[in-house]
Structure 1
């Protein structure tokens, strides 16, 4: 009987410790999300980019081509099923590769996939979609930035791709959500402290744009641009 009581106490303490850690995590996320960095921004800018969320995951949306970057030189439209090349915009999202493979819709999310993505060092991927214009069916905000800030964002996003020996991006075979998107192998691994939204937030900070001190959630990013 005493052995059973010890086992129960052991698991009760473990559960309590886990709940306290989760509480600390969420409190830290809230605090980090409301503390701004690069708060003072000049009015206007020469280039308009967009930030879009599906309610959990944030993407960058850039012009496909301008005087600073032609994204088709890095990500060829030949990688997308439609093979089209007359798009005005291109979106970039970063995340866990297996999560992308098994969860095209949030309704497809399974507990094992989520836990593996958060707690194990698994491969990541870049999700790239060519678009005629930003889809305003989802929450989207526009941000006017300087050419220098856009150069920094371009460098940040481009350096997130895994590159092969020939200097090209590496497509993930047979993975598409629609006719105009493709996935590519990426650097780093997702975890609870470095999520898809942390990747976006770090890109904003890297370009001296308004951002959170730290956030794992999309709400923090959009809070800074409310």
Structure 2
């Protein structure tokens, strides 16, 4: 019995040390800026929105660079409306999205599976008449070249079928104006929904942090 207790005690200690290293790395990576110096006079405004845990991009539905409805049609939503001005994108674990429409629905098994077990991912797409400011939102003015790189990054995150079309997730909606689609990669402790957002910013030569699994790291760079 004493050996068993020592074994579990060592295992718990090792786990706590790993968790401490993880959070220290997250704080350190979040504090290190990338692409700190930005050109002046960006003529395209995008938004970053967080619910306190998860970050989304918000883009214009249509401009001279990208017409998003040609890739993700509003026909996939329950309302099927087409008169939107903005569109938001969030990436994450598919089963997490299916089982956790509200954070109050979060269960320990769902969280552990999303973080530690390889599983399919999904893109949450929502059409909006205007960005919602009921949650923390920041606006970012970017250049056409930066937006073009960001558009490419987001579009390439969708999984496509043999015909090159997005793949909707059947019967999954949070409201009348959203839809979910199959996406590439799998979420884990080192590549979270916020890491996906941060990597997109870095890819587009926008302000970002070196690495972060949390939304705080992204918003810290735009404080």
TM-score interval w.r.t. the shorter chain? over 0.9
CA–CA separation in structure 2 for the residues paired with 1:72 and 1:98: 25
The question of 1:183 aligning with 2:172 is answered: no
Counterpart position of 1:118:
115
Q: What TM-score do the two structures reach when normalised by structure 1?
A: 0.98
CA–CA separation in structure 1 for the residues paired with 2:59 and 2:101: 22
Equivalent position SS for 1:116: helix
The question of 1:107 aligning with 2:130 is answered: no
Counterpart position of 2:84:
87
Q: Which runs of 5+ in 1 are unaligned?
A: none
Counterpart position of 2:5:
8
CA–CA separation in structure 2 for the residues paired with 1:104 and 1:211: 28
Counterpart position of 2:67:
70
CA–CA separation in structure 2 for the residues paired with 1:107 and 1:201: 26
Aligned residues: 223
Query: Which structure 2 residues correspond to residues 52-71 of structure 1 after superposition, within 5 A?
Result: 52-71=49-68
The question of 1:44 aligning with 2:44 is answered: no
Equivalent position SS for 1:29: helix
Q: Which runs of 5+ in 2 are unaligned?
A: none
Q: Which runs of 4+ in 1 moved over 6 A?
A: none
Equivalent position SS for 2:124: strand
Equivalent position SS for 1:60: strand
More deviation, 15-24/41-50: 41-50
**C-alpha root-mean-square deviation of aligned residues, in Å?**
0.4
CA–CA separation in structure 1 for the residues paired with 2:198 and 2:221: 10
